[in-house]
Homo-oligomer: A and B are copies of this chain.
Amino acid sequence: MSQSDPASPTQPRPTARLLLSARDRPGLVAAIANFIYSNGGDVTQADQHTDEEEGMFFQRVEFRLDEFELSRDELRAALADITNSLNMNCSVRYSDEERRVAVLVSRQSHCLVDLLGRWHANELPGKPVVVVSNHPDHAELVGHFGLPFHYLPVTSETRQAQEAALLEVLSEAGVELVVLARYMQILTAQVIDAYKYRVINIHHSFLPAFSGGRPYHQAHARGVKLIGATAHYATVDLDEGPIIEQDTARVSHRDGLDDLERTGRDLETVVLARAVRLHLLDRVLVYGRKTVVF
């Protein structure tokens, strides 16, 4: 299969996307709106949230660059002047940037196949550039999609060396986002810190219920009437990272462990794909243990 075009077909005209956060104060919205307008930008979407309890301001603004008068370097510099003076954090991304993604996987293939299928059908932003696994099983499958596959086995003794090799693979492939598509290994701080809030994990429960291992076994033993899946940024505190997306599905006493796992796989693939999509559209802003998802 041929590699899909990374540019999303639904946004042909390039846009800039700002993600802003700051201690709340009057004038933040006006400052950004004026900057964009006075330089010829055309806002296509703007979303703002104020957390009244924390006194925090968050904004996502997307604007067209067709008539924008500043180069991308000039934009970044001019914007920094404004955000510095207002004490705002700001990230700038462009819709036509190439976003290089690695997928890490273990034995179960459903999330991997689902993501590769979406990229193949050109319906997910980003460009998959490498797949890494601690098992050799999916080499052929990945090859069908025209992607390099790295088999990096790991034990608790070899973890540090394996992660060093992983980091090298990611670095050489120019990876920006790491997707843990049911990768059943814990990543230590050396990987997590290098890709802070750029590692997305799918946990197969509605966290914080059933954190840790074998959540479907836990759910089955507890007799819940719903199962769930949670996509979150990986942090060194296992299953404690900021949640991006969750969903649940009904189950009943008729569902054995096999049925929970089968139903759960459908949840996992959809929830993970939604989270990857939101991240790559620059819709997720982390603060504390939480996310704002615009």
| Given contacts A34-B33, A228-B226, A291-B223, A248 and B144 within 8 Å (CB-CB) | no
Report whether A50 and B41 are in contact in the complex, using a CB–CB cutoff of 8 Å: no
Judged by a CB distance under 8 angstroms, whether A48 is at the interface is: yes
Main secondary structure of the interface of A (DSSP, over half): mixed
Give the contact stretch, choosing among A24-32, A82-90, A188-196. Answer: A24-32
By a beta-carbon cutoff of 8 Å, the part of chain A in contact with chain B is: 1, 9-10, 25-30, 32-34, 36-38, 40-53, 58, 67, 109-110, 113-114, 117, 121, 123, 140-141, 144, 206-210, 221-226, 228, 242-248, 250, 252-254, 256-259, 262, 265-266, 270, 273, 288-293
Q: A208-B224, A252-B293 provided; 10 other pairs, C-beta below 8 A?
A: A26-B41, A32-B33, A33-B34, A43-B50, A52-B256, A206-B224, A206-B248, A207-B224, A225-B243, A225-B244
Instruction: Tell me which residues across on chain B come within 8 A of A221, comparing CB atoms.
Output: 289
Does the CB pair A224–B242 fall under 8 Å? no
Copies of this protein chain in the complex: 4
Q: From B49, B246, B257, B270, give the contact of A225 (CB < 8 A).
A: B246
Question: Is there an interface contact between A29 and B43, defined as CB atoms closer than 8 Å?
Answer: yes
B-chain residues with CB within 8 Å of residue A27 when the two chains form the complex? 37
A-B contact pairs, 6 of them (CB 8 A): A29-B46, A33-B34, A123-B262, A144-B144, A206-B224, A223-B290
Which residue in B123, B288, B291 is a CB contact (below 8 Å) of A265?
A: B123
Inter-chain contacts of A28 with B (CB < 8 A): 43
Can you name the residue of chain B whose Cβ is closest to the Cβ of A225? B246
